[in-house]
Amino acid sequence: MKIKFVPQNVEIDVDPSKTLLQLATENGIKIKSVCGGVATCTECRIKIVEGEHSVPEPSKLELNAIGTSYYIDGRRLACQVRCFGSVTVDMTEQLNKVETQKKVRGFKQKDPKELSAVHDTMVLTQAGPPKKAEKPNS
């Protein structure tokens, strides 16, 4: 049993104990997720184009997050989908997100794991907790 990601044409083994997001991440396939897999950001939307019978119906948590779009176009949250058989996942929406992802002004990203500040950028940090105002003696 395999999960096939298109248009990349990458196949990985099915592991029913893990979500599509976890499996993709472990295998170097990028799926955007801001919330870390708790179904609140809806950034990890994917579309299952084959093998819908190999995944359970969306939970109430997932339906609350994606709303009626599931009934309109069948998109699911990768952080909530577990596969029990072979499926094909359309990653077109995710690839478009990576290509059009906003760049943070003032930062250059050399390596995806390394962020560095642009020359002459000031970084402010708090030295410690603010001091309480003293009451005058009367």
Is residue 113 in a domain? no
Q: Does residue 36 fall inside a structural domain?
A: yes
Q: Which domain holds residue 91?
A: 2-99
| pLDDT at residue 138 in the model | 55
- The reply to whether 129 falls in a domain is no
What does the pLDDT read at residue 111?
Answer: 56
- pLDDT for 70 equals 81
CATH of the domain at 47: 3.10.20.30
- Taking the C-alpha atoms of residue 100 and residue 50, their distance in angstroms, rounded to an integer, is 27
Q: How many domains does the chain have?
A: 1
pLDDT in tens, 77-119: 999 999 999 999 999 888 887 666 555 555 555 555 555 555 5
Mean pLDDT estimate for the chain: 80
Is 111 part of a structural domain of the chain?
no
Q: What is the pTM of this model?
A: 0.66
* Residue 106, domain member (yes or no): no
More confident residue, 135 or 58: 58
Local confidence band at 25 (pLDDT 50, 70, 90 cut-offs):
very high
Q: Over pLDDT 90: what percentage of the chain?
A: 38
Contact predicate 37/22, CB 8 Å? yes
Q: What are the helix (H) ranges across 5-132?
A: 20-26, 60-66, 69-73, 92-99
Q: Tell me, yes or no, whether 63 lies in a domain.
A: yes
Mean pLDDT to the nearest integer, 47-75: 88
Residue 67 burial class via C-beta count within 10 angstroms: exposed 0-12, middle 13-18, buried 19 and up: exposed
Residue 58 counted as domain residue: yes
DSSP structure class, residue 79: T
